[in-house]
Structure 1
């Protein structure tokens, strides 16, 4: 079984692009499993990851394509949550959605994708940028 950890933020398009990439990986649906991880940076209402639209839509897409998945949630730094989940699950691949940022934006706000790439000890795949 090929296990993929997918970092899902609040952006539905990025989440669906990641789910599409999982479906497009070599092998049939029965050969893949996915952990969708959503990290809450701020969650004053106490929502769960299953209530986040981007997570639900990615999960629905995987289910429609016959791929087994589970949903995890965390709080705090998203990059740490993604890497920690991948390590705990001994994932074969981490998949995250990229996005365009100006050099100043990267310096000021950091980049979850960049942090995952630098912090992971396993392959990281980045989907196309917006």
Structure 2
């Protein structure tokens, strides 16, 4: 099975997690000459907050989720890493439920792989709070690579 399209789910990550996600996306996409679809999903309140921090009025042309995602620090850092590795990419911004939007994007672009990051959590934490990465793994239309955060 060849890999042509990889969806990489990004959010507001710390620098180390951003680097790990970028490295994994490169490791999956580069050998296959696949395109990475950087997908930054914002919650409703987060989107409004980020848009305000960027000084973008909601009526501006640059106020779309795609435009805001392109300007977000995390997305830019991953995009730079992909560029340096010679990996083709596009950026998509989405607003809504994180897991649902990643799965919908993977379906819409015909992804062959999804790459998601996550934190190590206790079984109780997973049961009480759920897990975006777990929901993506269970619902994605293709295989999912999970990038675990390094324990501090």
- In the superposition, the TM-score normalised over structure 1's length comes to 0.89
User: Could you tell me whether the CA contact under 8 Å between 1:5 and 1:91 is conserved in 2?
Assistant: yes
Q: Which runs of 5+ in 1 are unaligned?
A: none
> Which of the residues 22, 40, 61 maps onto 2:25?
22
Residue 40 (structure 1) aligns with = 42
| SS of corresponding position for 1:36 | strand
- Structure 2 distance, partners of 1:112, 1:80, is 9
Aligned partners of 1:2 and 1:92 also within 8 Å: yes
String of CA shifts for 1:24-45, please: whole Å, max 9, x gaps: 237547x121001011112223
Per the TM alignment, residue 123 of structure 1 is displaced from its structure 2 partner at its CA by 0.4
Alignment of 1:55 with 2:75, yes or no, is: yes
Q: What is the distance in 2 between the residues matched to 1:46 and 1:11?
A: 14
Q: Give the total of aligned pairs.
A: 129
In structure 2, the CA distance between the partners of 1:104 and 1:78, relative to structure 1 (3 Å rule), is same
Contact 2:29–2:35 (CA under 8 A) maintained in structure 1: no
Unpaired runs of at least 5, structure 2? 52-67
TM-score by length of 2: 0.77
State how far apart, in whole Å, the 1-side matches of 2:118 and 2:85 are: 23
Q: What secondary structure sits across from 2:49 in the alignment?
A: coil
* Structure with the largest fraction of helix: 2
Which of 1 and 2 has greater Rg? 2
Hey, what does 2:7 align to over in structure 1? 5
4+ long deviations beyond 3 Å: 26-29
Q: Kindly state the Cα deviation for residue 87 of structure 1 after the two structures are TM-superposed.
A: 0.5
Q: Which residue is 1:108 aligned to?
A: 128
Encode CA deviations 1:58-105: one digit per residue, 9 max, x unaligned: 011001111110110111101111110110100110000121112232
SS in 1 for 2:75: helix
